[in-house]
């Protein structure tokens, strides 16, 4: 009798294991998705930081550009005033 009882028990164990595996796979997929999202966020942050760095490095020249633009605007305004 005992020998006949064992096979069904094994069968149940296998089913349980399969279910657990499926659940684990689902968890893994969720984790992967989260990781991907995190990576994307990190990339965005890095890009932003790079842009900021570039701005800081580029500040003198961009500052000069701003000043030149202001000067040009002033000149244009002066010219307009002269015309009037």
pLDDT tens digits, one per residue of 42-52: 777 777 777 77
Which residue's entry shows tokens 């595996």?
A: 21
- Domain residue extents for the chain: 8-83
**Predicted pLDDT at 47:** 78
User: CB–CB of 57/51 below 8 Å?
Assistant: no
User: CB–CB of 55/62 below 8 Å?
Assistant: yes
Taking only Cα atoms into account, the Rg of the chain, rounded to an integer number of angstroms, comes to: 34
Which residue's entry shows tokens 């028990």?
A: 9
For residue 1, pLDDT beyond 60 = no
What letter would DSSP give residue 84? Answer: -
19-68 residue pLDDT tens? 777 777 777 777 777 777 777 777 777 777 777 777 666 666 666 777 77
């Amino acid at each position: 009798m005992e020998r006949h009882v064992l096979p069904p028990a094994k069968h149940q164990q296998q089913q349980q294991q399969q279910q657990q595996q499926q659940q684990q796979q689902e968890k893994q997929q969720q984790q992967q998705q989260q990781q991907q999202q995190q990576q994307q966020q990190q990339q965005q942050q890095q890009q932003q930081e790079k842009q900021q760095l570039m701005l800081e490095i580029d500040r003198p020249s961009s500052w000069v550009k701003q000043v030149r633009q202001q000067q040009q605007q002033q000149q244009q305004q002066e010219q307009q005033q002269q015309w009037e």
